[in-house]
Amino acid sequence: MSTPSSTPSPIPARPRRFLRNLTAVLAAVVVLVSTGTLNIEWNELPQMPEQVWHYLYLMFSDPDWSKLARALAEMWRSIAMAWLGAILCVVVSVPLGMCAAGDVGPAWLRSLLRFVFAVIRAFPEVVIAIILLTVTGLTPFTGALALGISGIGQQAKWTYEAIESTPSGTSEAVRAAGGTTAEVVRWALWPQIAPSIASFALYRFEINIRTSAVLGIVGAGGIGSMLANYTNYRQWDTVGMLLIVVVVATMIVDLISGALRRRIMKGAHTRVVASDN
């Protein structure tokens, strides 16, 4: 018997590490340059844990609960501001996001809308609120507008990405039956993306709850304005009480919103009951 001659397997090429090493070096240079331009007082860093503990003790050792009623009212104002901003965001962003999706709007409209959404996402909520302050004044409505406008860019992006990730079979069937683009959106796309859009809207509401406290610092009203005022006057016992209210209220909203999002995405849990034969 003749055995086939074994041919030696080719040796794999040595991986090139130049690009990886160059990326690591550039990242290290960026970190060093960024650290050097911050004017950090390195000799004060060892004292930071002691200072943090000192202020935490001033805030939470004996919180001042005498202003709890007002804090709850301002917290409710922040929640209302966040909810109004979330509704405004959904009403505007969902139709625009649909027009920006592939196979829905024309190419020139998709490019224009996606550019606008990217520009909106580049502006933080605080910057939008400062711009709106010159028009609407120091009111909670300014905060609601800032939250709504800021959320449009992200919510619209979620919308057209949800549309583009759906299977195309239903849309093709509606088009094959002679359906227009509007009918494709209504009968093919919307039933598939509605749960995701509702889940995204609730998630955006959770984000607005946290952001509303920051907007109050620039005068948009709510619990943030009260927190900024008492921080400026260094009334740490009241600041501690306000932080407790913010944390508890945010956790409650997150629990409720999370349960609703799970119910929307997964549906109600069905219970199988065994029947006696």
Q: How does pLDDT run across 164-219, given as a tens digit for each residue? A: 888 887 788 888 888 888 888 888 888 888 888 888 888 888 888 888 888 877 77
Most confident of 30-39, 48-57, 258-267: 48-57
Residue 136 has pLDDT above 70, yes or no: yes
For position 9, what pLDDT does the model report?
A: 64
Contacts of residue 89, Cβ cutoff 8 Å, sequence gap at least 6: 147, 148, 149, 151, 152, 155, 201, 204
Residue 140 has pLDDT above 60, yes or no: yes
Model confidence at 268, pLDDT cuts 50, 70, 90, reads: low
* Domains in the chain: ranges and CATH: 62-265 (1.10.3720.10)
Residue 114 has pLDDT above 90, yes or no: yes
Q: Assess contact for 120 and 99: CB atoms under 8 A.
A: no
User: How many CB atoms within 10 Å of residue 106?
Assistant: 10
What is the arithmetic mean of pLDDT over 13-30? 80
Residue 113 has pLDDT above 90, yes or no: yes
What is the percent of the chain where pLDDT is above 90?
Answer: 25
Structure tokens at 165: 């990730």
Residue 18 has pLDDT above 80, yes or no: no
For position 41, what pLDDT does the model report?
A: 76
For position 15, what pLDDT does the model report?
A: 64
Contacts of residue 90, Cβ cutoff 8 Å, sequence gap at least 6: 155, 197, 201, 204
Encode pLDDT of 69-105 as tens digits: 999 999 999 899 999 999 999 999 999 999 998 878 8
Model confidence at 5, pLDDT cuts 50, 70, 90, reads: low
**DSSP per position, the chain:** -PPPPPPPPPPPPPPP-HHHHHHHHHHHHHHHHHHHTTT--GGGGGGHHHHHHHHHHHHHSS--GGGHHHHHHHHHHHHHHHHHHHHHHHHHHHHHHHHTSTTTS-HHHHHHHHHHHHHHHHS-HHHHHHHHHHHH-SSHHHHHHHHHHHHHHHHHHHHHHHHHTS-SHHHHHHHHTT--HHHHIIIIIHHHHHHHHHHHHHHHHHHHHHHHHHHGGGT--SHHHHHHHHHHTT-HHHHHHHHHHHHHHHHHHHHHHHHHHHHHHH-PPP---PPP-
For position 142, what pLDDT does the model report?
A: 86
Question: Phi and psi at residue 56, in whole multiples of 5°?
Answer: -65, -35
Question: Which range has the worst mean pLDDT, 36-45, 68-77, 82-91, 133-142?
Answer: 36-45
Whole-prediction pTM value? Answer: 0.76
Model confidence at 118, pLDDT cuts 50, 70, 90, reads: very high
Q: From CA 259, how far away is CA 277, in angstroms rounded?
A: 37
Residue 48 has pLDDT above 90, yes or no: no
Residue 89, judged by CB atoms within 10 A of its CB (0-12, 13-18, 19+), counts as: buried
